[in-house]
C-alpha cells in the first residue's frame, strides 16, 4: 500500500469513478472531479500528480481485503 495519506473525500471520489467505470457509465463530471481533487492534493503535498493518481488507484482498486 502507498505511504501517501488520502483524505476520505478523495478515496470516495476515486471509488465512485471506479464503480462507474466498471459499470460502463463513467461520466465526464465524475472523471473531472477526481482529476481536480488529485491535482489539488498533489499540489498541497508537493508531489507529482501522476504519482498521487497512481497511488490512489492502487489504494482503491487493489485494496487488501
Residue ranges of the chain with pLDDT lower than 50?
A: 1
Please tell me what DSSP assigns to residue 65. Answer: -
The per-residue pLDDT for 1 is 44
Query: Residue 13: is it exposed, middle or buried by C-beta count within 10 angstroms (0-12/13-18/19+)?
Result: buried
The per-residue pLDDT for 63 is 75
Question: What pTM was estimated for this model as a whole?
Answer: 0.88
Amino acid at each position: 500500500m502507498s505511504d501517501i495519506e488520502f483524505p476520505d473525500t478523495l478515496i470516495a471520489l476515486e471509488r465512485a469513478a471506479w464503480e462507474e467505470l466498471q459499470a460502463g457509465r463513467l461520466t465526464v463530471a465524475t472523471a473531472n472531479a477526481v482529476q481536480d481533487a488529485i491535482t489539488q492534493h498533489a499540489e498541497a503535498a508537493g508531489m507529482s500528480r501522476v504519482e498521487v493518481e497512481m497511488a490512489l488507484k492502487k489504494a482503491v482498486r487493489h485494496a487488501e481485503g
